[in-house]
Structure formats: structure tokens, C-alpha cells
Copies of this chain bind each other. A is one copy, B any other.
Amino acid sequence: MSQNTSIKPAWIGVDWGTTNLRAYAMTEQGELLDECCSEQGMSSLEPCAYEAALRSLIAHWDLPNPCTIVACGMVGSRQGWQEAPYRAVPCTAGTDSPVRVNHSGNDLNVWLIPGVKQNDPADVMRGEETQIAGFLALNDDWDGVICLPGTHSKWVHVSAGEIVSFRTFMTGEVFQAISTQTVLKHSLSGEDWDHAAFETALSDTLSRPENLGSTLFSLRASDLLHGQSSGTARARLSGCLIGAELAAAKPYWLGQRIAIIGNDRLCDLYSFSLSQQGIQAERSEAGAITRAGLVAAYLSL
């Protein structure tokens, strides 16, 4: 974490999720001066503890008084600092309608960007709407589908500056649960990776998604009977689960212009997987996109 007290932000952007709190010191023009983060995400905080956690994280910056804070993510959920009620699709990404936190002292003006909900099929997002707003701010008149891979991957149909519909897939979290909490844990340890096995499992599951149920245990049996390596098993499980996601998300990507937001290994896998289906997805770096969304919200105040 930076300890540079010479940093004089005009305002502060905050990305406050389930596991992490990340603050950006910004200029009036939306340039990044400095950033810092802590592990004081929603899952480790009572509602009354948010203000102190934020103040502690940004205390080393030379803040204006009052200081405007614009925050996105789970901080606006019912279990967060204060609820910023969901807006319903079809709607803009919501950075034009932040909600003021009622009590945070006279020296801080804290605004929370509301999440977005879809009533049928039931779905919700908190944080991704800010990335979508940021992406649209950096890409004028962009229509298509934005894919945000992660613990809870999202596919979001965007048209004419609005979120039209979206679906969430628990792919990352299901991978974690199956690979650590079932008998497969004995066959998937380590970090090795067999890319050819990923590709085969992806292709098989995408073309025959109904076979997913019978594939999982074979990852264990292939180890017991044929000494399959853990790198092959990990890659096969990942290929199966991303393949199942792509099979279900097909109405979102088939024949569409696709952008992937993210810069990690998981996004590489999604990008590769889509390329196997003939889709050349655009890539955007997640941090810059999030900041662009926070800037859009700040400018709307």
C-alpha cells in the first residue's frame, strides 16, 4: 500500500466487493493519482464498520474537505454500508443515479452506485454495472454483449447505452466447491495445466452439455485407473464447466459482438473458448474500466 501523503486527490473512487476494498485517488479530470487496497470486503464487515474501514484506508492521502467518495460493489447491498436499491433492466448502468450515504460525517460525501436487477429470469449484479458504464464511456455507441468472467460470470446484453438483459453463471464458485469439497480434490491438487485436455473437455461439453453429469466422476476414475495427472484433471474440469456456461449462454454470444472485461488467466480461457467458436472477443483491462465507470458516476453528481 502507498503511504504518500503528498497525494492530493480531488475525489476518491472505491471498488468495494465481497472480499476486497480498493480505493483510487483521482484528479478532477478523472486521472488516477494513486491507489490502495485492503481485505476489508463486505464479508468481513458489519454495517457500522464501513466508515472506519474506509477512513483508515485513505487517511494517508491529503484529502479535500469535504471529500467526495463514489463507491460501487457489494458496499451498496442490504448487508453493506447502506442499501442502494437495484434498478431494473432495461436501464442505464446506473452510474447516473448514485445514492447518498446518510451518515458519514461532514468531511465525507459518500455516494453508492446502485446494482441492477432483472425480474425474470431472476438475476442481480452489483459492481459489474459500473464496469459496463466504464466500458461504454470508453467505447462510444457500442452495442453487443459484455462478458465478465469470474466467481460469478456475467453475460450482459447492451444496446443503445442500456443494459437490456443479463445472466449470471456460478462457474468460478462451482469450480472451487467441486475441486476442494468433493472426492475430486484428491485428483485435482496443484496448479499444473493441460491445455489440450481443457480444449477437448470444452468442445465435448459445448456440443453435448447433457453429458456433464457423467464426466465429473470420470476425472476421479481416470486418476485411479489410468494415473491421469492432476493438471489434466483440473483442465478437464475447467473445460467442462466453461463449456457448460457457454452452452447455456449461447443466446448471448452466438452471432454477437463480444467484449470481455478482465485481464487474468480466466479471461484468457474465455477468450480462447470463444475463439474456438469463431468469436474474436475484444478485451479490456478491468481496473481501468472500473475507474472509468466511477468517473462517469462522479461526473453525474
Residues of A at the B interface (CB closer than 8 Å) are 86, 117-119, 121-124, 152, 167-171, 173-174, 176-178, 180-184, 209-214, 216-218, 220-222, 224-226, 228, 241, 244-245, 247-250
> Which residues of chain B are near A210, meaning CB under 8 Å?
209-210, 244, 247-248, 250
Contact, CB under 8 Å: A213 / B169 = yes
* Identical copies of this chain, number: 2
Query: Complex: how many Å from CA A250 to CA B248?
Result: 20
Q: Offer 23 A-B interface pairs, CB within 8 angstroms, sorted by A.
A: A117-B225, A118-B221, A121-B214, A122-B222, A122-B226, A123-B217, A123-B221, A124-B220, A124-B224, A152-B183, A152-B217, A167-B214, A167-B217, A168-B217, A169-B214, A170-B183, A174-B216, A177-B182, A210-B248, A210-B250, A211-B248, A213-B244, A213-B247
Cα distance A212–B124 when bound, in Å?
18
Dominant SS at the A interface? helix
Residue of B nearest to A172 (CB): B182
How many Å lie between the Cα of A121 and that of B152 in the bound state? 31
In the assembled complex, how far is the CB of residue A74 from the closest CB belonging to chain B, in whole angstroms? Answer: 11
